[in-house]
A and B are shown apart, each in its own frame.
Chain A
């Protein structure tokens, strides 16, 4: 299974999800617990990917340069908390990443 088949399979499955209840309307009822769980999927997935991505970035850069992504994430967290806008994370974090990276010894 390569990238193409993965994307095709994820796309086909997503389309079947979209079509599912339109086809099965009135025949099955979704349990309330599944509905509640589905609201937690995106936050859990985003948190898992963010933590793993940050840890991987720090490890690949080494102990000295790990300060750049850590500082960027700190700036992103502060920016989102202050503005309430998720987009502020990129707008604040990326420049901090560049500046911190440039200041660190090579």
Chain B
């Protein structure tokens, strides 16, 4: 039974559990907002990547590739490939949402993303299923509101800032930060170097199709590397280690 009226304390506990994530998420949302304001994309369309795609990496790719004039089908394909992990998050939560009303499954699924899965799973492992629903919702709704607020603030600030600041360079720097921080794992390292090399070689390819080719080559190369340890099942990130994707 899902009764949020009686589970206010669990909703609040979920929101509190989400708070540490916000330190990494809010700057990321600001960066996306600034990049959307600077990109050659309608301002509202850039903002809509927040509520519609609702996954930072795919939003960065979508805005960046649209700005670069990539083929629409390539943009959609890259965004969806980046979001394939959502299928695994869906599988992770499915067992806890079995037998719940459809309205719950449709709305709770919409809020699925790395931090909400992390906070939600913690609740499902510690609390009873009904209380854990409220815990999940408290964290997930706070995340959603904070994410959209951060993108809005970034977009407003980005539109008013002078061009000499070259804020369009924020996204490449953000990507560099993400790439360098993932070099420790051998599979990821190989994927990163091969993807970067193929992207440079395929730069003359029309409509930014080189990006899609580079991602495919990077993944294929990463799969040939020996994993660092036993195969890890996909799991949400921890707030202190990486920015949510």
| CB within 8 Å for A87 and B27 given contacts A13-B76, A35-B234 | yes
Complex CA distance for A57 and B231, rounded to whole angstroms: 38
Complex CA distance for A98 and B166, rounded to whole angstroms: 8
- Encode A75-102 as 1/0 by CB contact (under 8 A) with B: 0110011001111111001100110010
Chain A residues near B78 (CB-CB < 8 A) = 45
Complex CA distance for A50 and B66, rounded to whole angstroms: 15
A19 touches B (CB below 8 Å): yes
Task: Tell whether, in the assembled complex, residue B75 and residue A10 are in contact, meaning their CB atoms are under 8 Å apart.
Answer: yes
Task: Tell whether, in the assembled complex, residue B180 and residue A10 are in contact, meaning their CB atoms are under 8 Å apart.
Answer: no
Complex CA distance for A81 and B182, rounded to whole angstroms: 11
- Encode B96-130 as 1/0 by CB contact (under 8 A) with A: 01100000011001101000000000000000000
B86 touches A (CB below 8 Å): yes
Question: Chain A at the B interface: mostly helix, strand, loop or mixed?
Answer: helix
Contact for A44 among B98, B166, B191, CB less than 8 A: B191
B64, closest chain A residue (CB) = A49
Task: Tell whether, in the assembled complex, residue A73 and residue B173 are in contact, meaning their CB atoms are under 8 Å apart.
Answer: yes
Complex CA distance for A47 and B198, rounded to whole angstroms: 10
Task: Tell whether, in the assembled complex, residue A51 and residue B196 are in contact, meaning their CB atoms are under 8 Å apart.
Answer: yes
* A-B contact number at CB 8 A: 286
Chain A residues near B15 (CB-CB < 8 A) = none
B 55-74 contacts with A by CB, 8 A = 55, 57-58, 60-62, 64-66, 68, 72-73
Chain B residues near A1 (CB-CB < 8 A) = 72-73
Complex CA distance for A89 and B175, rounded to whole angstroms: 9
Chain B residues near A66 (CB-CB < 8 A) = none
Contact for B192 among A44, A69, A93, CB less than 8 A: A44
Task: Tell whether, in the assembled complex, residue B245 and residue A47 are in contact, meaning their CB atoms are under 8 Å apart.
Answer: no
- Encode A41-67 as 1/0 by CB contact (under 8 A) with B: 111111111111111110000000000
A103 touches B (CB below 8 Å): no
Min distance, Cβ B64 to any Cβ of chain A, angstroms: 6
Complex CA distance for A31 and B208, rounded to whole angstroms: 30
Question: Chain B at the A interface: mostly helix, strand, loop or mixed?
Answer: helix
| CB within 8 Å for A4 and B42 given contacts A40-B187, A54-B172, A89-B180 | yes
How many positions in chain B have a CB within 8 Å of any CB in the partner chain? 97
A104 touches B (CB below 8 Å): no
Min distance, Cβ A40 to any Cβ of chain B, angstroms: 4
Most B-side CB within 10 Å, residue of A46, A53, A72, A84? A46
Complex CA distance for A88 and B181, rounded to whole angstroms: 10
Task: Tell whether, in the assembled complex, residue B215 and residue A22 are in contact, meaning their CB atoms are under 8 Å apart.
Answer: no
Chain A residues near B64 (CB-CB < 8 A) = 49, 53
Min distance, Cβ A106 to any Cβ of chain B, angstroms: 12
Q: List 22 A-B contacts (CB under 8 A).
A: A10-B75, A10-B76, A10-B83, A14-B80, A15-B109, A19-B109, A21-B94, A39-B85, A45-B82, A48-B210, A48-B218, A49-B172, A50-B172, A50-B175, A52-B210, A53-B175, A54-B176, A76-B177, A88-B177, A90-B170, A93-B169, A101-B166
Top 6 A-B pairs ranked by shortest CB distance?
Answer: A11-B52, A89-B177, A44-B218, A86-B177, A48-B214, A1-B72
